[in-house]
Amino acid sequence: MTHTELNIDVKVLGKVAVLMGGTSAEREVSLMSGSGVLQALRSSGVDAHAFDPAHHELGDLKRDGYARAFIALHGRHGEDGTVQGALELLGIPYTGPGVMASAIAMDKVMTKRVWTAEGLPTPRYVWLAPDRQQREVVRTVPDELGLPLIVKPPREGSSIGVTKVRGYSDMQEAVALSAKYDPDVLCEEFIDGEEVTCPVLGQGADARALPVIRIVAPDGAYDYQNKYFTDDVKYQCPSGLPEAEEREIQRIVLQAYRTLGCRGWGRADLMIRASDRKPFLLEMNTSPGMTGHSLVPMSARASGISYEALCLRILASAALDTPARPKGD
């Protein structure tokens, strides 16, 4: 069977594992993403099967004859380079960025260092390692970043463990909450303005940015609950931004994606500062959500790509950092 929308012969894709669930704090969301992907791939005629690394050894993928893997895992042990490294060793091509890009993008502090070195705009920050979380250190952070500010775990996603701090007295509690999810704590300048997100498909010079989505959350609370389990958040796609602004965001996002060495797909989150309309990069998601509320499918749809075609396109881009050598080399 050939998928007419993309001219992809699904037979050549072989037996496909949709990796979902896993052991991270985002397991519940990953199961929703994976279920959607699995259904879409099967409806396109792909020989796709659910595979939960929390219940099966990754080595089973090789033993059971899987030809490629669609990574629908979110968070740790899914988006951080560890599963990618295991699949490299198994020689099973997988979706999304490779080991290094995944590991860097999962760590918001490392991402900021790379982006800052490349001159890309990202909010100012203070990194609190475990030995710098004493009360006397924590209380000085607002002096440097101003108030309000954001406190979050650098290696979690889906707004888990994030606090908007409005006063000095809230700092200690916010750092303690973040430290439950990650020993390191990231304190970040708060950018007052509009939140937007922009997906990317492809690799290198062929990568292209999809339409920007503007996110309008109740009272600005774009948190875990509102992201996945309510319909209170409004998503505007087309964004309604001036064309020049949309193009500039897409340019910055493409540069941010290429700078990290991403491939396959990804989604950057940004804030547009209200005072001067300057965009600031917050993070790069290397295994974005694919649930009914998710943003990459919404943006793809606005550019004429159906959910099924999107899943198939991402799957067809599955690759290895180091392609397997021909036998006998």
Q: Which residues are catalytic?
A: 26, 158, 228, 267, 269, 283, 285, 289
Q: Give every CB contact of residue 317 below 8 A, 6+ residues apart in sequence.
A: 95, 201, 202, 203, 263, 264, 265
Rounded to an integer, what distance in angstroms lies between the CA atom of residue 117 and that of residue 312?
35
User: Do 146 and 155 contact (CB within 8 A), yes or no?
Assistant: no
- Alpha-helical regions (H) of the chain: 27-43, 59-63, 82-90, 99-106, 108-117, 135-138, 141-145, 171-181, 224-228, 243-259, 295-302, 307-316
Q: In angstroms, rounded to a whole number, what is the distance separating the alpha carbons of residues 219 and 223?
A: 11
Beta bridge partners of 234: 216
Q: At what angle do helices 99-106 and 108-117 cross, to 10 degrees?
A: 100
Token code pair at residue 232 = 């209170």
Q: Is 73 left (phi over 0), alpha (psi -120 to 50) or beta?
A: beta
Structure tokens at 157: 């996603």
Q: If we measure between CA atoms, which residue out of 95, 112, 111 comes closest to residue 103?
A: 111
Q: How far apart are CA 279 and CA 271, in angstroms?
A: 6
Closest CA to 308 of 3, 9, 49, 66: 3
**Residue keyed to tokens 């690394």:** 53
> Which residues, in sequence order, are CB contacts of 101 under 8 Å at separation 6+?
260, 261, 262, 263, 286
Distance set, CA 239 to CA 131, 194, 259, 310 (Å)? 43, 11, 25, 20
